[in-house]
Amino acid sequence: DYPSLNLGQAVMVYCYQLATLIQQPAKSDTTADQHQLQALRERAMALLTTLAVADDIKLVDWLQQRLGLLEQRDTAMLHRLLHDIEKNITK
């Protein structure tokens, strides 16, 4: 005989299985194009320089690391956001 799972144990097993799905790498067709990422990095660094925070090493490192994990949709959204910020700064 095998002991049955109680509700708490069943939830833990379910969460464990979900966690393994989350840890799987993203499919390559949804990852952002390297040229778009490079352009986004350059625009972000230019904006940090304009805002006089480019010397904040932790911020720059964090930004560079997180940009590499973006998917295509996120990259497009950030390009749009940076465009809006740049447009409003120059006014």
The string of pLDDT tens digits covering residues 68-91 is 888 888 989 999 999 999 999 887
Q: How far is residue 47 from each of residues 64, 78, 87, 90, measured CA to CA in Å?
A: 13, 12, 11, 11
- Residues 44 and 67: beta-carbon distance below 8 Å: yes
Residues 6+ apart with CB under 8 A from 43: 79, 82, 86
Tokens standing for 74? 């996120």
pLDDT tens digits, 10-68: 888 888 888 887 776 656 555 568 888 899 999 999 999 998 999 999 999 999 988 88
Cα 6 to Cα 27: distance, rounded to the nearest angstrom: 36
pLDDT tens digits, 1-15: 566 778 888 888 888
